Amino acid sequence: MSINSAMLAGVSGLISNSSALAAISDNIANVNTTAYKRNQVNFANVVTAQAVKGRYSAGGVQAVTRQFVGQQGLIQSASSPTDLGISGDGFFIVATKGGPLTSSDERVFTRSGSFSVDADGYLVNDAKLYLQGWKVKDDGTFDTNPSDLNMMQSINVKNLGAAVKATSNVVVNANLDKSLAADAAKNTAYTAPGLMAEWGNPLPAPAPRTGVEPDFTFDMNVIDSLGATHKVSVAVLKDDTDPNLWHAEIYADTADVDGAAFGLIQSGDIQFTADGQLDLAHANTTLFGPTASISLAASGTGTTPRWADSLGINASNIDLDWSKVTQYASASTLNSSNSDGANVGNVIGVEVGEDGVVSAIYDNSEVRKIAKIGLATFANPDGLAPVSGNAYRPTIPSGEFVIKQPGVGGAGEIAPGTLEASTVDLSSEFTGLITTQKAYSASSKIITTADQMLEELINIKR
């Protein structure tokens, strides 16, 4: 009968408004949860078949939950460099455990980027979900795959070992004194390369010093493949016939170099222009030319010159930039000698680029790539199913995921040092609380009214 349907309609109103209250409560409780996506309960009427003309049977109401996963929250500044926001579409791919993963291990998706380094060195967020990424290959590239999650592993930023970078470039800023009077006797004695190196690497005492004394000498530091530092010297002698020409030799300590007399690595001439600049195009510029370099073969190769066999190190090929070497009428001096090598260093920090590349920062100023974060996109992110930890798993309505590199193919960019705020609007939620409370009270009033009418009907018999 109609009174019963009215009562059932009131019950459905209580149930639906209870669901709305639960959703609002969840939203308010998570107003400060990173990247939380608000839920909303909408109402749809239920229509029943009207069996008897002129009589109406109430159908009631049903609650339909809608989630706004695709709605982006405000990107806010954060204090940690491993706090990551996503500016645009996409989800971080995370797992519930670190270490090597198999195809049976569950991966879920989240925009909660509050990552930090745990005791084992893994990047985990506040829900203890492990960030996944493509590991760097030996050549510095990444083997990305848009559909294979097994290509990605939990990112670890501690178990990397020390970092060493052998010197490959040296930039020298120096001046050679143009006003220096050339020594004819030295020039006469300087008949073969190695005599200035012989002076710089004298025979052990008490043997007398031999060779030709250079007019000026300066040192450069070179780091080998194992991170050890070696001193390499440059000796120059001014020519007594051409005021803009200098003879030069590059040599190392005799204990560091095998197969070279007195540690001589390379020799040649330096030609300057009349205004004191290095004349790279001149035929006399055979050492400090545009393609100047130092080459030392690996230890034990038999090639000369080479690193000492006792050192057991790899070959060195060092480009020399002498463009800042001048010849002015002031004292010969070395202003600076800068190399790009780095001694042994340990990890002191982590940084993430907008392209998703995670790098380790070492205390020797080296930066080494570790992994690259991939972002998963869905055709319908609102169709994802929520799981614990502010994460989601794919469903049929959401569609299959596609893994993309940040900023490529419609995926958002990584915003390091930021976090995505919750999409909850407190003013809207509190307004919803008021309307839900009133609707619940009204539904309960339907039940009490229907109860009174049924009681009147029962009392007719009396």
pLDDT 10s digits, 253-275: 999 999 888 999 988 888 999 99
Task: Parse the chain into domains and list their residue ranges.
Answer: 2-68+423-459, 75-162+347-420, 164-344
Average pLDDT over residues 244-259: 92
The structure's pTM equals: 0.70
Q: What percent of the chain has pLDDT over 70?
A: 96
Between 203 and 198, whose confidence is greater? 198
- Are residues 215 and 236 in contact, defined by beta-carbon separation less than 8 angstroms? yes
- Can you give the pLDDT at residue 157? 86
CATH number of the 164-344 domain: 2.60.98.20
Peptide bond preceding 305: is omega within 30 degrees of 0, i.e. cis? Answer: yes
pLDDT of residue 45: 80
Residue 244 to residues 45, 191, 218, 275, 443, Cα–Cα distance (Å): 98, 19, 19, 10, 102
Is the pLDDT confidence value at 1 over 60? no
Across the chain, what does the average pLDDT equal? 89
pLDDT given at position 108: 95
Based on the number of CB atoms within 10 Å of its own CB, is 417 exposed (0-12), middle (13-18) or buried (19 or more)?
middle
Q: Which residue has the higher pLDDT, 183 or 64?
A: 183
At 147 the pLDDT is 82
The answer to whether residue 74 scores a pLDDT higher than 80 is yes
pLDDT tens digit sequence for 325-372:
999 999 999 999 998 888 877 888 889 999 999 998 888 778 889 999
Query: Would you call 249 helix, strand, or coil by DSSP?
Result: strand
Q: How confident is the model at residue 438 (pLDDT cuts 50, 70, 90)?
A: very high
pLDDT given for residue 244 in this prediction: 94
Helix, strand, coil shares of the chain, percent, nearest 5, are 20, 35, 45
* Confidence band of 42 (pLDDT split at 50, 70, 90): confident
Tell me the per-residue pLDDT of 365-411, one tens digit each, with 9 for 90 and over: 788 899 999 999 999 999 999 999 999 999 999 999 999 999 998 89
Q: Residue 411's beta-bridge partner residues?
A: 89
Does the pLDDT value for residue 133 go beyond 90?
A: yes
Give pLDDT, residue 17: 87
Q: Which two structure tokens, joined as six digits, stand for 127? A: 């829900």
Query: What is the structure's pLDDT at 368?
Result: 87
Reply yes or no on whether the pLDDT at 198 is more than 70. yes
